[in-house]
Amino acid sequence: MLSRLLLDPFALPFMRRALVEVLLLGALAGGVGVFVVLRRLAFLADALSHAVFPGVVIGYLVSGQSGIVPGALVFAVLAVVLFTVAAARARVGQDAALAILLTSFFGLGVVLVSRQRSYTADLTTFLFGRVLTVDSTQITQTAVVAVVVGLVLYALRKELLLRTFDQQTARAMGYRVVLLDLVLNLMIALVVVAAVKAVGTILSIALLVVPAAAARLLSDRLLVVTGLAVLFGVLGGWLGLAASYEASINHGVRLASGATIVLALVVFYLLALGVGPLVRRRWRRGARLPDEVADVDGLPADRPARQAHVGGGVR
Amino acid sequence: MKQQVVGSQVDGGADVDAGTAPVDADDGLSPVVVFDRASVAYGRVPVLEDVDGVVGAGHMVALIGPNGGGKSTLIKAILGLVPVVRGRIQVLGRTPVRARQDVAYVPQADTLDPDFPVSVGQVVLMGRYRQIGWVRRPRRPDRLIAAEALAAVGLAHRGGDRFGTLSGGQRQRVLLARAMTQRPRLLLLDEPFNGVDTLSQQALLSAIDGLRAAGTTVVISTHDLSLAHLACDDVCLVNRHQFGFGPTAATLTPERLRAAYGSAALELRGEGVIVAQP
């Protein structure tokens, strides 16, 4: 029964491609989402998802389906640079700068798309995506984005943690906070771009925010939060796809797959909201060795695997 | 927002007077911080004007003055985070920006999000990030240094706890421990005793004593006058501009305090002591 629901739909090639795409996106967005939630950048992610819209339209007009991702990428980078600079310099305030960016870019996109004959249909596709028509080129694009974003976030994990936790001290220590912000914002933009075609501009924000927010409810440890966020992103994509297939094929209820994925994520969030207070363990006193402190990842410092590496296994 | 404005301006190259009139900072005797009629500003609004004086090597100097008088801004100027619009500030014979690697900063603990998912040990290790470098992870020596610093503030057993579960005073001690792991020559503390319990205040002071014994110079902003009298060699009394800079007892005169604090200064009968309300 379970395997009929969860596995059988993906015997179809187009469903298998969609599954691979949402698994990649779910893991990617879940991981990046942890920083989005901790930095309180959900509104930036939202603005970006709208700001890429004109890029999507222009890309489509210039070279059809294959132009969507490059077009979105150009506008995402443009929007991130404008936002980061505006937030750092202008006196308008971060929220106002974002609102201006969001509405002006989105307005431009709507003006462009409204010149098309199939206006409404195109608009709907852009806004909500079409995960079932994902092709292997796009899966490759998403995989590349996942690798790049994963490597960058891993390389900068210490500095991003410090900047997120204590911006003032990061500056005092000589870190270029504006540059760190720019890098993180660009990573968020890349995820939004990768997610646009599958789940659409509007729903891509849910992928970034909801899994990480749910994970945050369940743990106080950054590493655990990140792991859970990735897990929720992956599971939400899988279950959402399976549910929309089951409803559409076997019950005659047509469910948009992108939206179903988002609803699956929201279910995780609601569950986490309910059980969070019960499962979240308090950090116990003395849980760590007294003569060392935990690593940047929150792992105990004396894992056996590391001891050989450090070469000082005196204990 | 304000801070971001300032930061970007510094990033944009607002460093002061690179390389003019260098003072040899490595003989251990030269002043650690030199204020040369320095005025600092956020944007075009001057916050603090005409600060003039020196912080001697190994000294502990209190920045005293009412809230909003420019104490925190002066600390940020020493860090090179707020531009000096007139005059000059030199740190260890260098510009503030260039001296950063030898300067550690302790922010107020209550400016940090207590819900942030980070452990006490992780916070202390952050002080080592510059030494560790990009990409690499902390090694055993870094963790030992962090553990040592945590022990010096009396919190060795709390390394695994979430930062936000500690009391305000304990969090302040953790932030001091983090600064200690940087092995600074100049330590800057912004209002470390605000809302801090007596036990934590003692722990902070004794850890600071340990640093001073090792030769670290300390600048501390506070509105606790008794602390300035007890623990500090010199004070710098500021409120928009400087009201005095020199040895504590000679500088904190009733006249100067009344001038700096205005109506917030109260005179106690008999002893002639001024109690300033922040």
Nearest by CB to A287, from B122, B137, B160: name it. Answer: B160
A92-148 pLDDT per residue, tens: 677 787 888 888 998 998 888 888 777 677 777 777 788 888 888 889 989 999 999
What's the pLDDT at A297? 47
Joined together, the tokens standing for residue A77 give: 């980078």
Nearest chain A residue to B78 by CA: give it.
A172
- Of the listed ranges A54-58, B9-13, B66-70, the least confidently predicted one is B9-13
Distance CA A242, CA A182 (A): 37
Residue B32: strand, helix, or coil: coil
Give me the helices (H) in chain A, please.
Answer: 2-6, 13-38, 42-51, 53-63, 68-89, 94-114, 119-128, 136-155, 157-165, 167-172, 177-218, 222-250, 257-279, 304-310
Joined together, the tokens standing for residue B240 give: 């928009």
End-to-end CA separation in angstroms for chain A? 52
Joined together, the tokens standing for residue A212 give: 């990480």
What's the pLDDT at A302? 40
Chain A, window 215-274: residues with a beta carbon less than 8 angstroms from a chain B beta carbon: 216, 219-222, 225
Q: What is the dihedral of CA A24, A26, A30, A33, to 10 degrees?
A: 100
Residue the block writes with tokens 């003072």 = B23
CB-CB contact of B65 with B222 (8 Å): no
Distance CA A217, CA A231 (A): 14
CB contact under 8 A, B8 and A88: yes
CB contact under 8 A, B7 and A159: no
B134-164 pLDDT per residue, tens: 999 999 999 999 999 999 999 999 999 999 9
The model's confidence at residue B124, banded by pLDDT at 50, 70 and 90, is very high
Distance CA A303, CA A189 (A): 36
**pTM as predicted:** 0.84
Nearest by CB to B147, from A166, A220, A293: name it. Answer: A293
> How many other C-beta atoms are found inside a 10 Å radius of the C-beta of residue B1?
12
Distance CA A252, CA A277 (A): 39
Joined together, the tokens standing for residue B255 give: 């006249």
Pairing of strands B217-222, B186-190: parallel
Distance CA B60, CA B77 (A): 18
Give me the helices (H) in B13-89, please.
Answer: 71-78
CB-CB contact of B256 with B268 (8 Å): no
Residue B177: strand, helix, or coil: helix
Tell the burial category of B213 from Cβ atoms under 10 Å away from its Cβ (0-12, 13-18, 19+). Answer: exposed
What's the pLDDT at B167? 94
CB-CB contact of B77 with B96 (8 Å): yes
A176 interfacial to chain B (CB closer than 8 Å): yes
